Structure 1
Amino acid sequence: MTEPASLPGWRHVYSGKVRDLYVPDATPDGAAADRMLVVASDRVSAFDQVLEPGIPDKGVLLTTLSLWWFDRLAGGDGGPRIPNHLGADHVLGADDEPHSLIPAAVTGRAMLVRALDMQPIECVVRGYLTGSGWAEYQQTGTVCGIPLVEGLRNGDRLPEPIFTPAFKAPMGAHDENISFERTVELVGADIAERLRAASLEIYTRAAKTAEEHGLILADTKFEFGLDADGVLTLADEVLTPDSSRYWDADAWRQGETPAERMASFDKQIVRDWLANAWAPPREGEPPALPDDIVTRTSARYAELLERLTRA
């Protein structure tokens, strides 16, 4: 995995599959930082593995789209404001001119954010039946333990969006799908209800926006934290092709199922290729991505950004 960049004024403290996290240099070891720098890399992951090579400009595309969605959800779509973790990324200098707090080396791929008490729940919302949900439904008629009507097909729209949380596992382990009741045990009834309500509201608003741009938001996942006042706050990335499944609406209406073969604007291209190229139990190092898979994935990410953000 590519080493995180050395950034003046910031100290690297953590790397996930895609993002690198920094705190100000002045933050004492072991102390909580009041702000952090989140840098999106070009790394891509599938089956809980970071793959090589990365996707060119992916970090910039993910950050640009997250910032666009944060703005929309802060009232830009006409709905109520959803609090988010973004901090002011400029300060006034001695010359009264704004100066960026984000190092030039990561401009365009970094977000300055407020530190939060992050909740250990990955808040997944599914509006369509696909992926692991489809696999479970075929066996049990349920998705994450939630009973669904009979006769659904891969790629079908669900009668209503469902909240299917997961417990965020430590680095290197698999996230664990859990019931809402287990969520209550982990974070308490009040927080669990707030997480579910906020997730379903955001999904509904985002799905409407996507539909207006000829896209289907099949499913997505959110992360939340509490600020110093206990306000539930949207954090991390939001509604990117790394955290969501986007489909072409026209292709879906024409019945191009199963969903895995539908025109998708996410990393499904990578998932499909790796599923065929790396046989279970998928141990050891995964194979390198071919050039055409990298190029096609990059083009899909760019097309999603262009389709969503154009007037």
Structure 2
Amino acid sequence: MKALLKAELPELKLVSRGKVRDIYAIGMDLLMIATDRISAFDHILPTGIPGKGEVLTQLSAFWFRKLADVVPNHMISTDLAEFPEDLSEYKKILKGRSMRVKRAEMFPVECVVRGYISGSGWKDYIRTGSIGGITLTPGMRESERLSEPIFTPATKAADGEHDENISFAKMANMIGGEEAEKLRDLSIELYLRASKHAEARGIVIADTKFEFGKNDRGILLCDEALTPDSSRFWPRDQYRAGQSQPSFDKQYVRDYLEKIKWNKKAPAPPLPAEVVRGTQKRYAEVYFMLTDSVLQQ
């Protein structure tokens, strides 16, 4: 299987190319295509992960349906039969990795919820004793479970720029206090609901990030939800506090890049075949564990 690094649909208007998704306009709606690109440390890597786009799209669709009673989302359909007829020529590209979505005005923040102390949060804690302005109990260990999930928003970064953990107060200054409180409360509720489902299936969701937008009907959950790109998924039966954890997410890729001592500056290095295969395996495995269904290829 060959990785799709760019979705070329020349008959349609390209709205944007993100780190992973290519977005086109289709009438009043948008067509969101998850490619097989993968990013790490705020850079898009030159090597794709075949099948990754299908995992991201279909897992997001699963969560959008499951959590729709918490907050509406932007998904209209992933069924090609419900796409405009003039897209039929692109069926091979779109199948399994595309989603028709509502347009929304996006909030300029990433809504991060942490149930465990890991990743950049662990680094911030070691340095300051806090994460995103939230002071935590002294003496915590890496990967330790927090007494309750915390909300630690971040700025959105373009390729090559760094996401920045920010305080809730700064988020409120950016988007307004009322909407900041609403996004915080929704994010924590989504995390709690998803974590309960995941733990029953042998997965710990250590942390995750959500993106929200709004239209004339209110706030929408957008982009992706609870995927291996946007979350840390740990096997519950192997979890041990006080150390880094085996994972079903792109931490596996980050660990490789740390191992080779990449300076995290462009150009990003290619991934060897064994890392590509290992990433494919982890993404496919967590999809099956969470959904109990076979990935549509």
TM-score (norm 2): 0.90
The alpha-carbon deviation at position 244 of structure 1 amounts to 0.3
> What is aligned with 1:273?
256
Unaligned regions of 5+ residues in structure 2, if any?
A: none
Residue 124 of structure 1 pairs with residue 118 of structure 2: no
Question: What is the distance in 1 between the residues matched to 2:284 and 2:79?
Answer: 27
Question: What is the distance in 2 between the residues matched to 1:3 and 1:56?
Answer: 9
The alpha-carbon deviation at position 90 of structure 1 amounts to 6.4
Contact 2:43 2:159 in 1 (8 A): no
More displaced stretch, 47-56 vs 295-304:
47-56
Question: What is the distance in 2 between the residues matched to 1:213 and 1:310?
Answer: 9
> What is aligned with 2:203?
215
CA shift in 2, pair 1:131/1:16, >3 Å: same
The alpha-carbon deviation at position 288 of structure 1 amounts to 1.1
The alpha-carbon deviation at position 88 of structure 1 amounts to 4.6
> What is aligned with 1:28?
none
> What is aligned with 2:224?
237
Question: What is the distance in 1 between the residues matched to 2:48 and 2:5?
Answer: 13
Question: What is the distance in 2 between the residues matched to 1:2 and 1:248?
Answer: 29
Q: Deviations over 1:64-117 (max 9, x none)?
A: 10001111112xxxxx342000125669xxxxxx55336412111011000011
Question: What is the distance in 2 between the residues matched to 1:291 and 1:47?
Answer: 20
> What is aligned with 2:192?
204
> What is aligned with 2:123?
135
Alignment partner for residue 60 of structure 1, among 33, 36, 54? Answer: 54
Give, as a single letter, the amino acid of the residue that structure 2 aligns with 1:298: Q
Unaligned regions of 5+ residues in structure 1, if any?
A: 25-32, 75-79, 92-97
Q: Any runs of at least 4 consecutive aligned residues in structure 1 with deviations exceeding 4 A, and if so which?
A: 88-91
* Superposition RMSD in Å: 2.0
Contact 2:40 2:254 in 1 (8 A): yes
Residue 178 of structure 1 pairs with residue 172 of structure 2: no
Alignment of 1:137-152 (within 5 A): 137-152=125-140
More displaced stretch, 142-151 vs 98-107:
98-107
Q: Deviations over 1:47-80 (max 9, x none)?
A: 1111132111000111110001111112xxxxx3
| 3-state SS of 1:203 partner | helix
The alpha-carbon deviation at position 286 of structure 1 amounts to 2.0
Q: Deviations over 1:11-47 (max 9, x none)?
A: 22211111111013xxxxxxxx631011000011111
Alignment of 1:26-105 (within 5 A): 34-74=28-68, 80-88=69-77, 99-101=82-84, 103-104=90-91, 105=93
Give, as a single letter, the amino acid of the residue that structure 2 aligns with 1:266: D
Q: Which protein has greater RCO, CA pairs closer than 8 Å, 6+ apart?
A: 2
> What is aligned with 1:293?
275
Q: How many residue pairs were aligned?
A: 286
The alpha-carbon deviation at position 277 of structure 1 amounts to 1.2
Question: What is the distance in 1 between the residues matched to 2:282 and 2:105?
Answer: 34
Q: Deviations over 1:213-244 (max 9, x none)?
A: 01100000000011113x11100000000000
Question: What is the distance in 1 between the residues matched to 2:46 and 2:71?
Answer: 36
> What is aligned with 2:243?
258
The alpha-carbon deviation at position 170 of structure 1 amounts to 4.3
Contact 2:110 2:210 in 1 (8 A): yes
The alpha-carbon deviation at position 6 of structure 1 amounts to 2.9
The alpha-carbon deviation at position 258 of structure 1 amounts to 1.4
What percentage of aligned pairs have identical amino acids?
A: 47
Give, as a single letter, the amino acid of the residue that structure 1 aligns with 2:274: D
> What is aligned with 1:95?
none
CA shift in 2, pair 1:215/1:309, >3 Å: same
| 3-state SS of 2:101 partner | strand
The alpha-carbon deviation at position 257 of structure 1 amounts to 4.6
CA shift in 2, pair 1:182/1:298, >3 Å: same
Question: What is the distance in 2 between the residues matched to 1:145 and 1:272?
Answer: 27
CA shift in 2, pair 1:204/1:250, >3 Å: same
| 3-state SS of 2:75 partner | coil
Question: What is the distance in 2 between the residues matched to 1:99 and 1:62?
Answer: 20
More displaced stretch, 295-304 vs 5-14:
5-14
Question: What is the distance in 2 between the residues matched to 1:301 and 1:213?
Answer: 15
Alignment partner for residue 155 of structure 1, among 102, 123, 143? Answer: 143
Give, as a single letter, the amino acid of the residue that structure 1 aligns with 2:219: L
Question: What is the distance in 2 between the residues matched to 1:2 and 1:177?
Answer: 31
